[in-house]
Structure 1
Amino acid sequence: MISLTVFLLPCYSDSRAAEENASLISLQDIVDKASPGERIVLPDGSYLGPVRIDKQIVIQASEQVVLVNDHPAPAISIQADGVVVQGIRIIQKQGGDDSTAVSVQADEVILKELEIRTRGYGIQLRDAHDGALEGNYIAWDRSQGPSSLGEKGNGIDLYKSSGNLIEQNVIVNMKDGIYLDNSKDLMIADNQIFESRYGIHCMYVDGTKIVGNVGEYNITGAMIMGVREVTVSSNSFAKQRSNVNSQGILLYDVRDSLVEKNVLEGNRVGIYLERSSRNELSYNSISRNFVGIQFVSAEDNLIHYNDFVANVIEAEATKSESNQLHHNFWDMADLLDLDDDGVSELSYAINPFYRNLITRIPAFQLFFQSPGIHFLSTMAEQERQGWTIDHSPGMKLNMPRMSVDASTDNNSLPESMFLTIVASMLLLISGLTIIYSRGSKE
Structure 2
Amino acid sequence: MLFSLLLIITTYSGSAYANTTSEAIPLQPIIDAAQIGDSITLAPGTYLGPVYINKRLTISGEGRATLLNSSPDAEVAVMIQADGVKLQGLNIQQDNGGEAAAIRVEADQVTLKDLVIHTFGFGIMLREADSGVIVNNKIRWFIPKGATSRKRGNGIDLYNSHGSDIRENEISYLRDGIYLEKSRNTKVDHNRLFHLRYGVHCMYINGSSVTNNIGEYNITGAMVMGVSDVMVSGNSFRKQNQNVHSQGILLFDVRTSQIVNNVVEGNRVGIYMQQSSDNTLQNNMVLRNYIGIQFEGSEGNRFQKNAFIANVIEAEATDSKNNKMTRNFWDSFEGLDVSGDGVSDLPYAINPFYQQLVTENAAYQLFFQSPGMTFLSDLYTNDKEQWSTDSEPLMQLDSVHANVGQVSEGQGSVMVVGWLLLFFAVITILYMGVLRL
Same-fold status (TM-score > 0.5): yes
Q: Which moved more, 1:396-405 or 1:54-63?
A: 396-405
Deviations 1:31-58 (A, max 9, x none): 0000000011111111100000000000
Say whether the 8 Å CA contact 1:263–1:402 is kept in structure 2.
Answer: no
Say whether the 8 Å CA contact 2:62–2:89 is kept in structure 1.
Answer: yes
Residue 294 of structure 1 corresponds to: 294
Residue 306 of structure 1 corresponds to: 306
Q: Find the partner of 1:86 among 85, 88, 104.
A: 88
Say whether the 8 Å CA contact 1:238–1:404 is kept in structure 2.
Answer: no
Q: 3-state SS of the aligned residue for 1:308?
A: strand
Residue 74 of structure 1 corresponds to: 76
CA 1:290–1:236 in 2, change beyond 3 Å: closer, same or farther?
same
Q: Find the partner of 1:401 among 401, 404, 422.
A: 404
User: Which residue identity does 1:32 align to in structure 2?
Assistant: D
Residue 9 of structure 1 corresponds to: none
Distance in 1 of aligned mates of 2:330 and 2:59: 54
Offset of residue 22 of structure 1: 3.0
Offset of residue 146 of structure 1: 4.2
Say whether the 8 Å CA contact 2:270–2:291 is kept in structure 1.
Answer: yes
Say whether the 8 Å CA contact 2:272–2:293 is kept in structure 1.
Answer: yes
Map of 1:198-217 to 2, 5 A cutoff? 198-217=198-217
Deviations 1:70-100 (A, max 9, x none): 023211110000000000000001112x211
Q: 3-state SS of the aligned residue for 2:404?
A: coil
Distance in 1 of aligned mates of 2:81 and 2:394: 55
Distance in 2 of aligned mates of 1:397 and 1:263: 15
Residue 118 of structure 1 corresponds to: 119
Say whether the 8 Å CA contact 1:251–1:272 is kept in structure 2.
Answer: yes
Map of 1:130-279 to 2, 5 A cutoff? 130-142=131-143, 144-279=144-279
User: Which residue identity does 2:95 align to in structure 1?
Assistant: K
User: Which residue identity does 2:76 align to in structure 1?
Assistant: P
Residue 436 of structure 1 corresponds to: none
Q: 3-state SS of the aligned residue for 1:363?
A: helix
Deviations 1:310-330 (A, max 9, x none): 000000000002101000000
1:390 aligns to 2:390 (yes or no): yes
Say whether the 8 Å CA contact 2:63–2:91 is kept in structure 1.
Answer: no
Offset of residue 145 of structure 1: 4.1
Where structure 1 has 5 or more consecutive residues not aligned to the other structure, the ranges are: 1-18, 408-442
Map of 1:375-386 to 2, 5 A cutoff? 375-381=375-381, 383-386=383-386
Q: Which moved more, 1:163-172 or 1:55-64?
A: 55-64
Offset of residue 339 of structure 1: 1.2
Q: 3-state SS of the aligned residue for 2:87?
A: strand
Residue 318 of structure 1 corresponds to: 318
Residue 101 of structure 1 corresponds to: 102
Q: 3-state SS of the aligned residue for 1:64?
A: strand
Distance in 2 of aligned mates of 1:403 and 1:123: 36
Residue 39 of structure 2 corresponds to: 39
Where structure 2 has 5 or more consecutive residues not aligned to the other structure, the ranges are: 1-18, 411-437
Deviations 1:347-384 (A, max 9, x none): 00100001111111211111000000000011113641
Q: 3-state SS of the aligned residue for 2:397?
A: coil
Fraction of identical pairs, as percent: 49
TM-score, scaled relative to structure 1: 0.85
Residue 330 of structure 2 corresponds to: 330
Which structure: larger Rg?
Answer: 2
Distance in 2 of aligned mates of 1:378 and 1:114: 57
TM-score, scaled relative to structure 2: 0.86
User: Which residue identity does 2:120 align to in structure 1?
Assistant: R
Say whether the 8 Å CA contact 1:28–1:52 is kept in structure 2.
Answer: yes
Say whether the 8 Å CA contact 1:285–1:402 is kept in structure 2.
Answer: no
Q: 3-state SS of the aligned residue for 1:75?
A: strand
CA 1:324–1:195 in 2, change beyond 3 Å: closer, same or farther?
same
User: Which residue identity does 1:135 align to in structure 2?
Assistant: N
Offset of residue 140 of structure 1: 0.4
Say whether the 8 Å CA contact 2:162–2:184 is kept in structure 1.
Answer: yes
Say whether the 8 Å CA contact 1:263–1:403 is kept in structure 2.
Answer: no
Distance in 2 of aligned mates of 1:26 and 1:344: 71
Q: Report how many residues are paired.
A: 388
CA 1:402–1:174 in 2, change beyond 3 Å: closer, same or farther?
farther
Q: 3-state SS of the aligned residue for 2:294?
A: strand
Map of 1:16-55 to 2, 5 A cutoff? 20-55=20-55
User: Which residue identity does 2:124 align to in structure 1?
Assistant: I
Offset of residue 131 of structure 1: 1.1
Residue 356 of structure 2 corresponds to: 356
User: Which residue identity does 2:390 align to in structure 1?
Assistant: D
Offset of residue 396 of structure 1: 1.5
Distance in 2 of aligned mates of 1:26 and 1:145: 32
Deviations 1:259-308 (A, max 9, x none): 00000000000000000000000000000000000000000000000000
Q: 3-state SS of the aligned residue for 1:62?
A: strand
Residue 6 of structure 2 corresponds to: none
Q: 3-state SS of the aligned residue for 2:117?
A: strand
Offset of residue 116 of structure 1: 0.2
User: Which residue identity does 2:256 align to in structure 1?
Assistant: D
User: Which residue identity does 1:100 align to in structure 2?
Assistant: A
Say whether the 8 Å CA contact 1:103–1:125 is kept in structure 2.
Answer: yes
Distance in 1 of aligned mates of 2:57 and 2:320: 54
Say whether the 8 Å CA contact 2:62–2:88 is kept in structure 1.
Answer: no
